[in-house]
Structure 1
Amino acid sequence: MTTQSFSDTEFVVRTIAQTAVDNEKEFGDLDSVVGDGDFGFSLARGFEIVLADWDSYDRTNIGVFLQKIAMVITGRIGGTSGPIWGTAFLRAATVTKGRDEITGTDAVAMLRAAMDGIKARGNAELGDKTLLDALAPMTDTIEEKLAAGASSDEVVAAAAATARTAADATVSMQARRGRAAYTGERSIGSPDPGAVAVAVILERLASEWGSRPGAS
């Protein structure tokens, strides 16, 4: 089982933040189809602060670091996105409490904990046309690839491919949570912005994973 260092966790978080900032317009445009259009703006403004304050975060261990990130996200990202994304980071932090390194199994546990937090906070389930519909199959793929002995490069690439396929599949779904749910059947025909965000983040991670600090 591949063990990932603290720097890998930092790389993942920083990539999430930078991708959110870089794709503000794309995510906002997607949200404006049947939502209020603030998803891209809210996410970007919050993660800009994460990047601006990057060097100041407590790095006593991975759990503490993720907890600090969660607090910033919850407090600085507007709308429903802040509590949902913040809860995801906070739940992941609980899995890594006191840890300086994590295994692939830990990463899966972090993702599943994050999903449980999103379900509870957003009162959402799979099939409701939310970011869960990309996170869940992506996590299953990671678990399957790890069990098969795949390298971390292979795991991340497979996760990105699954996330994209899953995000595309939300086009045919009817939204049952969030502002888009109020549009009923009009929500069918466009992808969920949160699910697309997950896919875009994973695709960037996959493209840059081999050049991350400390990569062999």
Structure 2
Amino acid sequence: MTTQSFSDTEFVVRTIAQTAVDNEKAFGDLDSVVGDGDFGFSLARGFEIVLTDWDSYDRSDIGVFLQKIAMVITGRIGGTSGPIWGTAFLRASTVAKGRDELAGPDVVAMLHAAMDGIKARGNAELGDKTLLDALAPMTDTIDEKLGEGQPSEEVVSAAATTARAAADATVGMQARRGRAAYTGERSIGSPDPGAVAVAVILERLAADWASRPRQP
């Protein structure tokens, strides 16, 4: 029988994929301000495949499942987004290796592993105006709320609020990584598309969390 942890993992991954597909134009429009405009297209094309092949992925354990998703993302999402997002999933999968149950600290550890992978693959740090600038504060909020013993609905809601505020804060930053970095000070004044994508995904998770599948 599938555990609640496994079911929740599937729900999160499927929500990420569907949100990427549904927001192809919005994410692309954001990227076109100072980038090449392909962020939305690239993300959508890769995650379309994730959704199409959904039932075929090995579900031996949570780590294996995430690893399979990572391979698809890395191989099928174009540009720099594939390696970055694929590495995030791959690093998270190592924490969940051999597991079909996850506790709150495991989720935080997976997010930290994902961020470490993004930093290494993208040679990025906080403040460089990337998705890290939404992921890091979001992860801190999750860790804080879990430590307070808050129910999962409150944790996800608080994480979404933090991610949105952090994504909005990237408007005042100058990009130091990616194609936007070549525009210098012109990158100031618009949000980072990757950070916005993190916020939109978390907002959708927060909206749908209460109705996610429940295991008996």
1:28-39 maps to which residues of 2 (within 5 A)?
A: 28-39=28-39
Matched letter for residue 83 of structure 1: P
CA contact 1:141–1:162 (8 Å) conserved in 2:
yes
Is 1:7 aligned to 2:7, yes or no?
Answer: yes
Residues 135-171 of structure 1: CA distance to partner in whole angstroms, max 9, x if unpaired?
A: 0000000000000010000000000000000000000
Give the TM-score taking structure 1 as reference length. 0.98
Identity %: 87
Is 1:91 aligned to 2:80, yes or no?
Answer: no
Matched residues in 2 for 1:5 and 1:154: separation? 17
1:34-53 maps to which residues of 2 (within 5 A)?
A: 34-53=34-53
Runs of 4+ in 1 over 4 A off after TM superposition: none
Matched letter for residue 53 of structure 2: D
Matched residues in 2 for 1:103 and 1:86: separation? 23
Q: Which residue number corresponds to residue 171 of structure 1?
A: 171
Matched residues in 2 for 1:129 and 1:4: separation? 35
Is 1:57 aligned to 2:52, yes or no?
Answer: no
Give the secondary structure class of the aligned counterpart of 2:102. Answer: strand
Aligned positions, number: 214
Unaligned regions of 5+ residues in structure 2, if any? none
Matched letter for residue 124 of structure 2: A
Q: Which residue number corresponds to residue 192 of structure 2?
A: 192
CA contact 2:7–2:215 (8 Å) conserved in 1:
no
CA contact 2:175–2:187 (8 Å) conserved in 1:
yes
Q: Which residue number corresponds to residue 117 of structure 1?
A: 117
Matched residues in 2 for 1:121 and 1:141: separation? 24
Is 1:153 aligned to 2:153, yes or no?
Answer: yes
Q: Which residue number corresponds to residue 18 of structure 1?
A: 18
RMSD: 1.1
- Give the C-alpha shift of residue 133 in structure 1: 0.0
Distance 1:192 1:128, change over 3 A: same
Give the TM-score taking structure 2 as reference length. 0.98
Distance 1:173 1:4, change over 3 A: farther
Matched letter for residue 60 of structure 2: T
